[in-house]
């Protein structure tokens, strides 16, 4: 695993605009991207591009203004990704 492939990015506002562009760029570079947005699955149907890998690129509904939402997102990322990355070191 090279240095870029060992990176995990949480991208907020990933459904459109700067967040979507940032997410796409990180994916092209091989970074694991956890995309978040306040929009739900129903809202993202027309804008979200599904990834071929469920582990590497995931979507979570997330309200950045809510501390509880941040704790949930970070907790899910750690649960899903931690073992994969710590086993490499």
Instruction: Look at residue 65 and tell me if it is in a domain.
Output: yes
Per-residue model confidence (pLDDT) at position 19: 94
> Does any domain span residue 2?
no
Phi first, then psi, for residue 34 (nearest 5°) are -105, 105
Domain that holds residue 45: 8-86
One digit per residue, the tens of pLDDT, for the chain of length 89 reads 577 777 889 999 999 899 999 999 999 999 989 999 998 755 555 444 544 444 567 889 999 999 999 999 999 888 887 766 666 55
Q: What is the pLDDT of residue 51?
A: 46
**Which helix H or strand E contains 28, and what residues bound it?**
helix 17-28
Is 47 among the domain residues?
yes
Give the model's pLDDT for residue 74.
93
The CATH number that applies at residue 34 is: 3.40.50.720
- Residue 1 within a domain: no
Residue 5 Cα distances to 26, 30, 58, 73, 78, angstroms: 10, 5, 15, 21, 16
pLDDT value, residue 45: 52
Residue 39's pLDDT is what?
87
């Amino acid at each position: 695993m090279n240095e870029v492939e060992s990176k995990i990015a949480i991208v907020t506002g990933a459904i459109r605009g700067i967040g979507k562009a940032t997410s796409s760029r990180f994916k092209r570079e091989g970074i694991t991207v956890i995309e978040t947005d306040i929009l739900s699955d129903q809202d993202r149907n027309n804008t979200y591009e599904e990834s071929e890998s469920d582990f590497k690129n995931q979507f979570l509904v997330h309200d950045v203004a809510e501390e509880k939402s941040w704790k949930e997102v970070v907790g899910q990322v750690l649960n899903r990704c931690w073992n994969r990355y710590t086993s490499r070191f």
